[in-house]
Structure 1
Amino acid sequence: MIFIEVIKKRFGHFEGETVWQWTMINDHGMKISVLNYGAIITSIETKDKFGEYANISLGFSDMDDYLAYSPYFGATLGPVAGRITKGQFSLDGEEYQLTQNEGANHRHGGKLNFSKKLWNVSVEKELDQIVLTFEYTWADGENGYPGNINAHMTYTLNNKNEWIIDYTAHTDKPTIYNPSNHIYFNLSGKAGSTILPHQLWVNSEKFLPIDKEMLPIGEIRSVENTIFDLRAGREMMEIIKNQDELLQIAGKGLDHTFILKHENGKPDAVLFDPQSGRRLEMETEADSVLVYTSNSMAGDFEINGKTVPKYAGITLETQGLVDAINHPGFGNIVLRPEKPFKSKTAFRFAVES
């Protein structure tokens, strides 16, 4: 019999500090391993329809690989996930310039973003769940962001086979805040494989068209009669093969924000692999999910001795709309001292025979 437990071990070093890995294990044998570096999920192990366990997320087993490559495998992004046009925004009559780490634009919080920080971690083991709490203080002016931001997250693994992320944050002056997790899923559990046989369902009627810099053009467009209509589900191969211009711009695949409908009793998204029978349901309080199909994976690094191919994984990055601070009608990502940030995302894992 398996009992819920957590195992801590040394994973490596970063800037003279020890990088630790915690592995949470629930009563069903599901495992989630996570680092204090970047609050990175290194692996999620679940069983398939045959009862075999395998890692269904992309991640490295060596710290040197995380330092050498930057695909954001399993990493926390922020203070603002996604891209900000020219790294610029206006807030309360003040103009701000963030660092530009992707051409002229700002991406995922800047070069040394949340994914490159050592977080303070505490562990609470309960009867039916394990909770890891992550804390980091982002300094006023770092990468151009105003305000000292006290960032706080919990990762919970429970006996319902759920991974739950709770985000909270406080600031001492108005700033912008829109974190996410850049987990890449491959439900096959096979290193070196692609997600092309996977099926994706997203409860969304609208999405954001993008330009050649992968930035929203400012329009909110209906998915009706487009390849972006995922309300009935589509196989990833069907999407990848489609000649829609917006897919071609993104590198022949998805790198697009879907505005979520949030209907009670329905998940916001479902990912299913018919070969393994693994099914993932996602539910979030965030306004949208950015779906990325690893279109730009270069194949110049390996996982478990296998070259990582294009389309190796798929992200479900829950967040406010990308570049919302620069587009009217995209929602509010302003964080103010009098109103803390709160958001929750749950991933539920199951199998179908």
Structure 2
Amino acid sequence: MPVIKDTFGYLQDDRRVDRITLSHPRSGFSVEILEYGARIRAIHFPHPRQGPMNTVLSYASLREYELDTAALGAIIGRCANRTVARAHPEFQLSCNDGKNHLHGGLIGFGRSLWRTVACVDGDLPGVLLKLHSPDGDEGYRGNVSVQMEVRMDSPLSFRTVVTAATDRATPLNLTLHPYFNLTGDPDACIEDHELRLASSTYLPVSPEQIPTGEILAVDGTPFDFRRRTPIGARIHETGGGYDHYCPILPGAAIAAELSSRRSDIHLSVSTNQKGIQFYTGNSLADAMPRRFRARVGLCLEPHGFPNALNEPSFPSIMVQPGETYRHHTRYTFAVAED
């Protein structure tokens, strides 16, 4: 069946969490979404030689997702990445990363229980989830209503469309946080994956991983992925791995391309967001409840500029009453061709 909705488990407070599995009826390509955190739990690619392969890191149980510290597969909001929590005079955000606000705070959208609005069957199956974020949530103002649609749009691709509206001016800067490993082996290092980014600049960061406000050219740096390059080629020059925001060139049809020579799987990411946070899973070895090996998964997180709430030189992420926030991202898979 193109859409299957079943019970994945129960939270510690006894709330039920459903799993929605979308399958393309001809290719067998499928995506699993959990109502807890609107998480992308699995992306099964129908490999022509090796059979179905899960191309993202996953946990087996709901309890593991409740205890998760790595935001595995979660939707992140209200604001992705790191924000200096108490620097803005009108927003005193929750601190969950030292003095900083990380990935929406202590609970945020990724630890909230979303509810299914509708499932769409047929050749292009999909699901629509919703969430209400109340005024004062994690220090943000305004009541915010959010909807996320996940839908197949070809035999080997799916898209996510997130929309939100508020009754008071508030920053909104959502992202998706799946950890990709195109080998299908959750213990395999991703440093031999090859990446291309449609980006000629990157944001340098402070020791606390907050952007300094500069936008630097990638020329001559380990952040130059304008041509397909193995991720591990210059990772030692970054001082601990990649965890940096890369603005996408205006008009770029494809923001990022990722491939694995081991599996021959190729992934293209297109988005309407201004950039992608490229993260190589440097802290996965410290993640709870499962300690993965470091760098067995990588994130390509589309969103607006991080810490834009406190950085006037960055494009604004404020949304006004009457406006609609829109985030579109499309993931397209294929067997790579040299």
| TM-score (normalizing by structure 2) | 0.95
How many residues align? The count is: 335
Measure the CA separation in 2 of the matches of 1:88 and 1:99. Answer: 12
Measure the CA separation in 1 of the matches of 2:145 and 2:72. Answer: 23
**1:19 paired residue among 17, 22, 31:** 17
Q: How far apart are residue 300 of structure 1 and its match?
A: 6.3
Alpha-carbon spacing, 1:99–1:302, altered in 2? closer, same or farther (3 Å): closer
**2:244 paired residue among 256, 266, 281:** 256
Is the counterpart of residue 338 in structure 1 residue 322 in structure 2? yes
- String of CA shifts for 1:58-110, please: whole Å, max 9, x gaps: 111101111222111100100111111134324xxxx2201111101111111
Is the counterpart of residue 326 in structure 1 residue 310 in structure 2? yes
Alpha-carbon spacing, 1:231–1:300, altered in 2? closer, same or farther (3 Å): closer
- Provide the identity percentage: 30
Q: How far apart are residue 267 of structure 1 and its match?
A: 1.0
CA contact (8 A) 2:169 2:319 kept: yes
Measure the CA separation in 2 of the matches of 1:116 and 1:328. Answer: 29
**1:205 paired residue among 187, 190, 200:** 200
Measure the CA separation in 2 of the matches of 1:195 and 1:88. Answer: 36
Higher mean C-alpha displacement, 152-161 vs 202-211: 152-161
CA contact (8 A) 1:269 1:282 kept: yes
The Cα RMSD (Å) is 1.6
**2:212 paired residue among 214, 217, 230:** 217
Unaligned runs of at least 5 residues, structure 2: none
Measure the CA separation in 1 of the matches of 2:48 and 2:70. Answer: 29
- String of CA shifts for 1:208-236, please: whole Å, max 9, x gaps: 00011000001011111111111012101
1:1-353 paired onto structure 2 within 5 Å? 5-14=2-11, 15-26=13-24, 27-48=26-47, 50-90=49-89, 95-241=90-236, 243=237, 247-248=238-239, 252-263=240-251, 266-298=253-285, 308-352=292-336
CA contact (8 A) 2:2 2:122 kept: no
Q: How far apart are residue 189 of structure 1 and its match?
A: 0.3
| TM-score (normalizing by structure 1) | 0.91
CA contact (8 A) 2:70 2:287 kept: no
Alpha-carbon spacing, 1:207–1:23, altered in 2? closer, same or farther (3 Å): same
Q: How far apart are residue 302 of structure 1 and its match?
A: 7.9
Question: What's the secondary structure of 1:298's corresponding residue?
Answer: helix
CA contact (8 A) 2:150 2:160 kept: yes
Measure the CA separation in 2 of the matches of 1:255 and 1:279. Answer: 22
